[in-house]
Structures are given as structure tokens and as C-alpha cells.
Amino acid sequence: MLCGKLLKFGVAVVSSAFFMAGIAQAEESIIVQSTTSTQNSGLYKHLLPLFKNKSGITVNVVAVGTGQAIKNAQNCDGDVLLVHAKPAEEKFVKNGYGVKRTDVMYNDFIIVGPPEDPAKVGRMKDAPDALKKISNAKAIFASRGDNSGTHKKEVRLWKAADINPKGASGKWYRETGSGMGATLNTGVGMGAYVMTDRATWISFKNKGDYKILVEGDDDLFNQYGVILVNPKKCPKVNQAAGQTFIKWLIGEDGQKAIANYKLGGKQLFFPNANKGQS
């Protein structure tokens, strides 16, 4: 019978696919839930081969927004979490999903915009003040709107400016609901102001004539932290390998490797482990 044959073939294909998946897991590897900014900037391409050489462990990075990364880690779908939203990270640890949070590195957020700068925020330092001017001018602002680390930071800055931009959602305040790169593409396309982390901006290739307009405020500090997913909540966590990775990352070698990563002569991330752990 033809259908019998087809069915047998199907079963054979399915089982071989499972078999191959089994082989792939024989090698020591961990999954790191992380953010798009670290991946898009090429940092992992620089760090991971160095770590693999030293430890033999393959690190598989799933790069999504911080909100989704934390959600995935809560579902135990990762061994290590490396994101940038300190309050959310601390909550993650407090609720027992993570073992301990450690600072890894930092850079900063910036606000970029078109050269005409309709809200006249160029060279401003105070981020909430700049947002106030943008809102007063009803100049278009493209927000991530995706609960990511960058978005959470942006929401806090609007709060500091005492403005609720949600009221203008769909008018001058436009939430793209997508990643940093996609939001920059959209923003550049419609002449909007965009808040972005500096690493993504430096490595972004579709800048058009956009310029950095606001930078240098202490409020724009962007801290990355690393957490081992708690084996008590998630028994399948590869604790040993995850711990090895974290130790390397916050140790001398990892920190040096982070500092050495440059794009176009510019350093993208500044290591700061063991300086203000929580």
C-alpha cells in the first residue's frame, strides 16, 4: 500500500530528526537568554569563541527583548540570563527564578533624530527635559513599545518628565512593538526621534542622515547584568556550565575581552563587574 509506505517513511524521517537532535545535545552547551543589543552589536561573536577556546562550552544565544528573555527564563528555557533592566532582574531573582544578579558591563542610551531636529533638542543633556520639548513640539517619537530594557528605561524617563505619551499613541508617539533595529529602521523612515542604546546605534548600518542629539545624562546609564537561572525552580538548568560562563564573564579574562571589543575604533561596552554588585 502506498499510504502504508508513506507512513513508514514519515515515521522514519521523524525518528531520525529526533535522533539528530539527540546527537546535537551530546556536546556541552548552554542557552543564554539575552537582548538584541548585545547580539546585533556583534559582541557575542567576539566573546563566545574566546570562551569556547578556554572552556570547550558552546554558548547558544537567544536574542530577544529583555521582557521576553525574562519570560523565557521563567519558563526554564535558558541556563543564563543576560539583560539590561535592573529592577526587572532584581524582581526575577527575588521571586526565586534566578540565583544571583551580578553587574557585567554598561554603556549608555542616546536619543537620535533627524538633522532638522524639529523639537530643537540637539546637544541637550537632560533627557527628561528633551522628552518634554519633543512632546511640546508634538514631534514624532518612535518607541519600542515592547517591554524591553530600552522601553522600560524610556517609560521611566517619560515619568521623570511628568508626561504620559500614551495619550498621543498613534499620533506623534508611535509604538512599533518591535526590536531596537526594527524601531530604528521605522524611525529613520518617518523622521522620528528614537531612543536607543549606543552599541546598537554604532553598529546600525541604516542611519541615513540621523545624528545623536541627546547624550551624557546620568539618567541614560545602561547597566547589563547576568543571572544564573535557579536550578531549584528549573532542575534541567546546566548549573556547572552556566556558572563557568558567568565566572569567566565577570572575571579578568571576560572583562578584558568586553573592553577590547571595538567597532570603528569605538568601544561599545564598558566592563564593570565587581563594582557595585547587588
How far apart CA 96 and CA 227 sit, in angstroms, is 11
Stated as kind and residue range, the H or E segment containing 131 is helix 127-137
> CB under 8 A: which stretch of 32-40, 87-95, 145-153, 162-170 binds another protein?
32-40
Nearer to another protein, 202 or 273 (CB): 202
Applying CB under 8 A, which of residues 179, 225, 254, 271 lies at the interface with another protein? Answer: 179
Based on CB atoms, which residue is closest to another protein, 56 or 251?
Answer: 56
| Burial class of residue 61, CB neighbours in 10 A (0-12, 13-18, 19+) | buried
Instruction: Please give the grid coordinates belonging to residue 266.
Output: 569605538
Among 43, 61, 199, 258, binds another protein (CB under 8 A): 61
Contact call for residue 205 and another protein (CB under 8 A):
yes
Q: Answer whether 230's CB lies under 8 Å from 76's CB.
A: no
Subset of residues 62 to 121 that bind another protein, contact rule: CB under 8 A: 62-63, 72, 74-77
- Categorise residue 17: left if φ over 0, alpha if ψ from -120 to 50, beta otherwise: alpha
Question: Which residue's CB is nearer to another protein, number 191 or number 216?
Answer: 191
Instruction: For helices 43-55 and 239-250, give the axis angle rounded to 10 degrees.
Output: 120
Segment lying near another protein (by CB under 8 A), choices 83-91, 103-111, 151-159, 201-209: 201-209
HSE of 147 in the Cβ direction (CA atoms, 13 Å)? Answer: 7
Q: Which is nearer to another protein, 61 or 81 (CB)?
A: 61
Given 83, 85, 93, 180, the residue binding another protein (CB under 8 A): 180
- Using CB under 8 A, pick the residue from 9, 96, 159, 190 that binds another protein: 9
Residue 34: burial class (beta carbons within 10 Å; 0-12, 13-18, 19+): buried
Residues that bind another protein (CB under 8 A): 1-3, 6-7, 9-11, 13-14, 17-18, 20-21, 24-25, 31, 36, 39-40, 44-45, 60-63, 72, 74-77, 179-182, 184-185, 203-207, 234, 236
